[in-house]
Amino acid sequence: MTDVPDKPSAPGATGAPGTPSAPGAPTATGAPGSSRAAGALPARALDRRGAILGVATAGAAAVVGTAIHAWNGASQGGATGSGRTTEATVTVKGMRFVPDTIDVASGDRLVITLENTGDQVHDLVLAGGATTGRVAAGASARLDAGVITGPVEGWCSIAGHRAQGMVLRITADGRATGAAQPSQAATGHGGHGGHGGHGAAADGPSATPNREAPLPEGFTPFDAALAPAPAGTVHQHTLTVTEVPSVYVGAGVTQTRWTFNGTAPGPVLRGKVGDTFEITLVNNGSMSHSIDFHAGIVSPDAVMRSINPGESLVYSFTAEHAGIWLYHCSTAPMSVHLASGMHGAVIVDPDGLAGVDREYVLIQSEIYLGPEGGVTDADKVAAKAPDLMCFNGAAFQYALQPLQARPGERVRFWVMDAGPSLPTSFHVVGLQFDTVFFEGAYQLGGPDGVGRSWRGGSQALGLQPAQGGFVEAVVPAVGSYAVVTHAFADMEKGAMAILKASE
Ligand SMILES: [Cu+2]
C-alpha cells in the first residue's frame, strides 16, 4: 500500500475498551441523522479513554446475537488482542470515504460506523469479508473489523465504485506495511491497492468469449423489428430497474445485467414531435439508479436524481424535436451503469416520415466482461477496452438469427450509438444508403421519399456515443447482407448482423 499518512486521521473515533462485540456484524440502522456525527478527534487520541463507554457498548452489544454466524472473515484469527475497542465513523463524499485512512493501536478491535452521507447506495467491505451490507443514501451501518495488527484494505463493492476511489485503508500503529493478517493471505486481497473496479462478489477471472458459440437453447434475440408509433399524444410508461443475473451477452457468455424492464437495451419508446412522455421510474435494484432522457428538454436536478432501492420518481417531457434519442442511467459511474445495460432509445418521428417496407432498430453498445455470470469490469470500462461489441445487447445475435427482408423492399435502420465510449460507422455490405437522417436532419433524401433527382449516396453513418439517426436502402436481390460497424475490430467483437433477403 502507498500514500498512507503516518499520522492518525480517523475523525469520530471514540474509545470503548473491552466492548464484547462480535466481528463482522452489519447493523444497518436506516435512520439518517441518528448516528453520532463525525467528530474531529483522531482515533488514537481517544481510543484509550473510554469517554463514552456506555453508549458505544450498548450499540455494539446489540448486534452480538446475530453476528457470530454471519462472520466469515478471520481478521482477528490468531491475533492477541489488547482488549480495547476503537470506534471510528466513516462518511461518504462523492466517490470517497471520509476519512479514507483509519489508524488504530495494534491489537485493538476496530468497529466502524459507515454513515452514508452520499447521494447513492454504498457499502464497505474489508479484505477478509467483513461487510456493512448495502447502505442506502442517508442511512448508516456498523461493521466489526476485528483485532487489527497490520494494514487492512476496505472498499465499496458496488461495481465501479472502488475504481472511482472508494477505498479505505486501516493501519496499525501508523504502519502502512507490516505483518499481514490471516484474512489477507486467505483472500489474496491484502495490499493490492491497485486492484480496483471489482466488487468482492465479482472477483475472479474474466469470462472468455467464444466468437463461434451458437445461440443458447431458448434464447430469443431482442426484437429489432420496430412497430409504428402508437396512437395518441401522451405516452405513459413505467421503467422498472432490475439487476438480472445470467443474461446472455453473446459469444457463449452470461453476465449480470442492470436493466430497464428486464432487458438490455431497455424498451424502445416511440412517438411523434409534440407528444408527451410520462415516465415512472421504479428502482427495484440493489443500488441507486436514475434515468436521463435525451429526448426531453428539462432541468436535470430533480428528475435525473439517483433514487434508492424501493423508491420511484416521475419524469415527464415533451418531444420537441425529431430523432432517435438515448436514455440511460446517470448514476455514477455512468460509464459502468450504461455499459451494464442501462440504456435505451426514444424514437421521435420527423413530420412526414415516409413509409417503408421494414423498419429495424439497432443500438450499438460495448460489453466489458467480468467473470462468467458476474458484473461489468470497471477497469476495462475505464480503459475503453471492451471484450464484446453488440447490436441490441448481445454480440452476434442477428448474425446467428438474421434479420429478414425480401428483394425489392425498402429497409430503414434506426441506429443509436449507446456507447458508453466508442463510436460506430454503420454500414451494410452490398448496399448504399439513399436516405440518411443524422441527428435531427436529412443529409440525403427526405420526407418526399424516393424519386429524387440527386444521385449522391452514403456508405456509412458515423455516430459518436449518444448520437443517432436512420438510413434507408432498397435490397436489390436475394442474398445475405452483412450489417456492421465498419470499425472492423468492433465488428469482429460482435457488432454485426445479417440482413437475409429471400423470396
Ligand atoms: Cu444505474
- How would DSSP label each residue in 297-357? ---HHHHT--B-TT-EEEEEEE--S-EEEEEE--SSSHHHHHHTT-EEEEEEEPTTPPP-S
pLDDT, tens digit, for every residue of 291-314? 999 999 999 999 999 999 999 999
Residue 250: closest CA among 388, 342, 362, 385: 388
pLDDT confidence band for 117 (50 / 70 / 90): very high
**Ligand 1 center to residue 242 CA distance, Å?**
9
pTM attached to this predicted model: 0.78
Q: CA-to-CA distance for 234 and 382, rounded, in angstroms? A: 39
Q: Within a 10 A sphere around the Cβ of 482, how many other Cβ atoms?
A: 16
Find the 334 Cα to ligand 1 centroid distance in Å. 7
What CATH number was assigned to the domain covering residues 14-200?
Answer: 2.60.40.420
* pLDDT at residue 450, rounded to an integer: 52
- The superfamily in CATH containing domain 234-501 is Cupredoxins -  blue copper proteins (2.60.40.420)
Give the start-to-end residue ranges of the domains of the chain.
Answer: 14-200, 234-501
- Quick check: 135 and 89 in contact, CB under 8 A? no
End-to-end Cα distance, the chain: 66
Confidence of residue 128 (pLDDT cuts 50, 70, 90): confident
Does the pLDDT of residue 125 top 50, yes or no? yes
Per-residue pLDDT tens for 148-187?
A: 999 999 999 999 999 889 999 999 988 766 444 433 333 3
Q: How far is the CA of 339 from the centre of ligand 1 (A)?
A: 10
Task: Give residue 224 CA to ligand 1 midpoint distance, Å.
Answer: 24
Closest CA to 331 of 165, 211, 167, 160: 160
Residue 104 Cα to ligand 1 middle (Å):
36
* 253 against 74, higher pLDDT: 253
Q: Give 256 Cα–ligand 1 centroid separation in angstroms.
A: 13
Q: Is 492 helix (H, G, I), strand (E, B) or coil?
A: helix
Q: Give the distance (Å) from ligand 1 centre to CA of residue 379.
A: 17
Q: How confident is the model at residue 355 (pLDDT cuts 50, 70, 90)?
A: very high
Measured distance CA(93)–CA(498) in Å, rounded: 48
Note whether 293 and 372 are within 8 A (CB): no
Beta bridge partners, 438, equal 441, 469
In 3-state terms, the chain is what percent helix, strand and coil (to 5)? 10, 35, 55
> How many Å apart are CA 467 and CA 326, to the nearest integer?
8
Q: For residues 179 and 185, give the distance between their C-alpha atoms in angstroms, rounded to a whole number.
A: 10
Q: What is the CA(371)–ligand 1 centre distance, in A?
A: 20
Compute how many other C-beta atoms are within 10 angstroms of the C-beta atom of residue 109.
28
Two domains, one topology: 14-200 and 234-501: yes
